[in-house]
Amino acid sequence: MCEPEPRAGLLHDWLADSAARHPGRPAVVEPRRTITLADLYERSRSIAWAFRRHALEPGDRVGLVMDKSADAIAAMYGTLIAGGIYVPIQPGWPGAKIEAVLADCDARFVVSDGESGGSASPTVRVRPTGETLEWSALVGAPSLAEMVSRSPEEPAFILFTSGSTGTPKGVTISHRAVGVFVDWAVRQFRVGPDDRIACPSPLSFDLSTFDVFSIARAGSACVVVPPTAAWVPRLLLGMVRDERVTVWYSVPSMLAHLMDCAGLDARPVASLRTILFAGEVMPPRVAARLRSSHRAAELYNLYGPTETNVVTWHRLPEEIDPARPISIGRPCPYARLRLDEGGAGLTRPPASGELLVTGASLMSGYWNRPEETARAFAELDDESGRSRYYRTGDRVSIDPSGDVAFVGRVDRQVKRKGYRIELGEIEAAMASHPGLGEAAVVASEGDHPRLTAFACGRGAPPLDEAALRLHCVLMLPSYMIPDRFLLLDAMPRGSRGKIDYATLQRLDRSTPWPRT
């Protein structure tokens, strides 16, 4: 059963409400300890008091170089209570990148995991003086008596891109922007104090906003997935069973990994009632396996870039055609969608084009990048008068039922032999091969691009390159068939768990083509 309306629009006010209603309920569940809602709130208020005592001003940034943990979540809420803006940074990023992000956002404090990977107390450094603060002194400090006055329209956190190339840029998210998503999700998926949510995504990935803020909005528990377990299938699946997880949220590839390597579909998790996935395309074959094995669970495909959070959703039916792409659904109530072609909306199929999004969940902009922010948005006339739309860079189409279907990235479209080709369409066709685990396609540079398809098998029997090519011949027109297929043991991944196309592009350039 959903909780009543929160009394305020600030994220940490939600935590105060839930701590008052359910003080003894678990808020953060870790392998070796559990923190209650009352404990989390008091720790957060103590951290806020210490930050304020050391001259944190409203709007100052706090860098959290931390894996997801009870300490990290307390530091996150403590920053918000003190009126600051937290900036989550993955400890595994290269040191130069971490320092670049800290310099870009001009962080006032830096909270880092202990040297022993989270078993030791975090370290707290004041910038630019270099003064260090004891973590025990922060969490043991007096509680901040009064919340710092902030508007829901002001930033709550900044998520920096984690791509392997280019300069990271910060996506600035307000209390209101993330709040409308979490509030809707809690209601739509009926999240309550009895739920235990596992979301293996790090704090720097927007998927994690669901579990860490559902703690505050619904009084539910966040079951922390340690980084050491996130991509170790049997360990991760054992943890999900032992902790009686009721709600799961991850990228689809992690669910595929759990089925292929740990037998998630062979031995379903009885406690799971809701399975959410987002962040990348859900292969229909993977969805069909998950649906057939978890009949009692509700499955939802969620879509939205970091700059918009989730803006469309789709509940999967009882029967799934493994050869038909999974819809990304209809707009969430706080979002409006349109296409880039002549201002046409999504009401006249067939239509396709770049998806534009407006609504309450949009980012405020890119931190300290006004020109990039201006390029990312379009001011357009609509039923509300004039609205600010974010250009997603995603190409979508409408299926016969009126649902939105993801086609591919605008920037992953190539022209070959006179035809415009969506590389994502080739990947989708390859995904229906029964022996395929994952596929990714890249194009070479130049006027006459050649296509390389990377593929990973599902195990025994080994993936056969000739059979894979034949499958593409049967599924695709001749101009879309990849020029070569390279078989990999595993796909390279970025820090958020997504396929790292930049690494594949480099591998493509460094792998000699056979002489013909």
* Residue 402's pLDDT band (cuts 50, 70, 90): low
* Residue 417's pLDDT band (cuts 50, 70, 90): low
Domain assignment present for residue 87? The answer is: yes
Q: pLDDT tens digit string along 104-162?
A: 999 999 999 976 454 578 999 998 888 999 998 888 888 876 767 789 999 999 999 74
Domain assignment present for residue 339? The answer is: no
The DSSP element (H or E) to which 506 belongs, if any, is helix 501-510
Question: Residue 466: which domain range?
Answer: 421-510
Domain assignment present for residue 476? The answer is: yes
Q: What pLDDT, on a 0 to 100 scale, did the predictor assign at position 297? A: 98
HEC secondary structure over 24-84: CCEEEECCCCEEEHHHHHHHHHHHHHHHHHCCCCCCCEEEEECCCCHHHHHHHHHHHHCCC
The DSSP element (H or E) to which 110 belongs, if any, is strand 107-112
pTM of the model: 0.84
* Residue 423's pLDDT band (cuts 50, 70, 90): confident
**Which of 108, 143, 171 is the C-terminal boundary of a domain?**
171
Q: What is the DSSP letter of 462?
A: P
Q: Percentage of residues in the chain with pLDDT exceeding 90?
A: 63
Measured at the CA of 178, the angle between CA 189 and CA 172, to 5 degrees, comes to 150
Higher-scoring residue by pLDDT: 146, 211: 211
Instruction: Give me the mean pLDDT over the 242-259 stretch.
Output: 94
* Residue 347's pLDDT band (cuts 50, 70, 90): very low
Domain assignment present for residue 203? The answer is: no
- Checking if the pLDDT of 16 tops 80, the result is yes
Q: What pLDDT, on a 0 to 100 scale, did the predictor assign at position 470? A: 92
Q: What pLDDT, on a 0 to 100 scale, did the predictor assign at position 449? A: 86
Q: Of 179-183, 323-327, 344-348, which range is least confident? A: 344-348
Instruction: Give me the mean pLDDT over the 24-48 stretch.
Output: 96
Q: What pLDDT, on a 0 to 100 scale, did the predictor assign at position 163? A: 42
User: Which CATH number belongs to the domain containing residue 431 in this structure?
Assistant: 3.30.300.30
Q: pLDDT tens digit string along 58-93?
A: 999 999 999 999 999 999 999 999 999 999 998 988
Q: pLDDT tens digit string along 357-369?
A: 999 999 999 999 9
* Residue 94's pLDDT band (cuts 50, 70, 90): confident
Using DSSP's 3-state secondary structure scheme, residue 467 falls into: helix
Domain assignment present for residue 216? The answer is: no
User: Which CATH number belongs to the domain containing residue 99 in this structure?
Assistant: 3.40.50.980
**Which of 133, 148, 171 is the C-terminal boundary of a domain?**
171
Q: Under 8 Å CB-to-CB from 251, ≥6 apart: which residues?
A: 201, 207, 277, 278, 279, 280, 496, 497, 498
Number of domains present in the structure of the chain: 2
Backbone phi, then psi, for 30, in 5-degree steps? -115, 165
Domain assignment present for residue 60? The answer is: yes
- Checking if the pLDDT of 22 tops 90, the result is yes
Domain assignment present for residue 84? The answer is: yes
Domain assignment present for residue 341? The answer is: no
Q: What b/e string do you get for 337-358 counting C-beta neighbours within 10 Å, with b at 16 or more?
A: bbbbeeeeebeeeebbbbbbbb
**Which of 171, 186, 207 is the C-terminal boundary of a domain?**
171
Q: What pLDDT, on a 0 to 100 scale, did the predictor assign at position 346? A: 46
